């Protein structure tokens, strides 16, 4: 494992492979560098990038956007025809993994979500002929994530996964360093330990 990490750290290799039987991915959500959620029609799939294992985590309903923050989140989208500025044209209902309502938002603007977690929704104008705007709907403090894995779709509908072995190794080493710091703080090194006596 350590030899692989060292080799990968200095390697400039980029690994890319095609996912079989998956087309038309609507959303890609990176959980950790080696695990990615793919939303394929109604199915929510978890891909282990290194082992290429895919497992189904659940399903989404019609007009639902998927997010993830220590569990699946859903944002149900409803659009309405309005007659005045006092009415709302968009309603977002944020649901947790058990489908319980977490929060509801109503907007005058016709918008759709681009990103969702426990802290915020990032949305954009939903109708093409309107002027494009982006909205940050805050639920809590903002937390940003760094994407290491790239998912793309070719003209034939095939889904390709690629990642840098160097970036993956850097994150694995950082995680190991963090775990070592935690372990060393649990057992302080400056406290003398009694010797074993039979």
The CA distance from 79 to 63, in Å, is 10
Residue range 84-103, pLDDT digits in tens: 878 888 998 988 888 888 88
Give the pLDDT confidence score for residue 43 in this predicted structure: 92
The CA distance from 56 to 72, in Å, is 12
Structure tokens at 184: 């060393």
User: What pTM did the predictor assign?
Assistant: 0.62
Give the pLDDT confidence score for residue 197 in this predicted structure: 41
Inform me whether the pLDDT recorded for 18 exceeds 90: no
The residue-averaged pLDDT of 169-189 equals: 56
177 CB-near residues (< 8 Å, 6+ apart): none
Count the domains in the chain.
Answer: 1
Inform me whether the pLDDT recorded for 2 exceeds 60: yes
> In this structure, is residue 86 part of a structural domain?
yes
> In this structure, is residue 193 part of a structural domain?
no
> In this structure, is residue 92 part of a structural domain?
yes
When the pLDDT of each residue in the chain is averaged and rounded to a whole number, the result is 75
The residue-averaged pLDDT of 115-134 equals: 78
Give the pLDDT confidence score for residue 181 in this predicted structure: 54
Give the pLDDT confidence score for residue 193 in this predicted structure: 36
Enclosing domain of residue 89: 2-184
Residue range 41-85, pLDDT digits in tens: 899 999 988 888 999 999 998 889 998 888 898 999 999 998 887
Structure tokens at 116: 């969702």
> In this structure, is residue 190 part of a structural domain?
no
> In this structure, is residue 194 part of a structural domain?
no
């Amino acid at each position: 494992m350590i030899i692989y990490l060292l080799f990968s750290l200095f390697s400039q290799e980029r690994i890319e492979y095609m996912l079989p039987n998956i087309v038309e991915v609507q959303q890609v959500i990176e959980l950790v560098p080696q695990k990615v959620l793919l939303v394929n029609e109604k199915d929510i799939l978890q891909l282990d990038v290194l082992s290429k294992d895919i497992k189904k985590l659940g399903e989404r309903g019609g007009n639902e956007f998927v997010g993830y923050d220590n569990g699946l989140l859903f944002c149900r989208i409803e659009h309405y025809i309005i007659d005045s500025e006092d009415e709302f044209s968009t309603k977002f209902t944020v649901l947790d993994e058990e489908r319980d309502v977490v929060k509801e938002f109503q907007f005058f603007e016709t918008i759709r979500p681009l990103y969702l977690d426990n802290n915020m929704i990032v949305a954009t104008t939903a109708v093409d002929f309107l002027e494009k705007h982006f909205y940050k709907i805050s639920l809590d403090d903002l937390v940003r994530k760094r994407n290491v894995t790239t998912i793309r779709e070719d003209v034939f509908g095939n889904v390709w996964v690629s990642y840098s072995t160097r970036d993956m190794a850097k994150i694995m080493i950082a995680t190991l360093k963090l775990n070592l710091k935690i372990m060393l703080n649990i057992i302080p090194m400056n406290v003398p330990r009694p010797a074993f006596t039979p």
